[in-house]
């Protein structure tokens, strides 16, 4: 499955109310996908959200809340994605 298919399987078409604009989907490892999205914070600043989903051998998806997070810049998001890839 593609990263987009994995994330959509878990979240469907629901959007994060804080970061509703999807920038891209990607893979952290063979069975871990992410969605990077953008939105506006409380003080009207641009914020980014990274949602992480794991898929097991049976095709069951799980939200990884402990790895998902809000980030303050695109650069911070890119660094965090690379950090997750290095961990896996």
The Cα–Cα gap between 41 and 10 comes to 25
20-75: per-residue pLDDT in tens? 999 999 999 999 999 999 999 999 999 999 999 999 999 999 999 999 999 999 99
pLDDT at 8 over 80: yes
- Tell me how crowded residue 2 is: count the other CB atoms within 10 A of its CB: 11
Instruction: Match 């994330």 to its residue by tokens.
Output: 7
60: burial class by Cβ within 10 Å (0-12, 13-18, 19+)?
Answer: exposed
Domains of the chain: 3-87 (3.10.450)
State residue 51's pLDDT score.
Answer: 97
Residue 16's pLDDT band, with cuts at 50, 70 and 90, is confident
């Amino acid at each position: 499955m593609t990263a987009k298919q994995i994330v959509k399987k878990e979240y469907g078409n629901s959007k994060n109310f804080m970061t509703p604009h999807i920038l891209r989907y990607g893979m952290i490892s063979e069975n871990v996908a992410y969605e990077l999205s953008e939105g506006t914070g409380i003080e009207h600043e641009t914020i980014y959200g990274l949602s992480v989903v794991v898929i097991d051998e049976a095709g069951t998806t799980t939200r990884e809340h402990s790895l998902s997070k809000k980030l303050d810049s695109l650069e911070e998001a890119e660094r965090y994605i690379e950090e997750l890839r290095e961990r896996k």
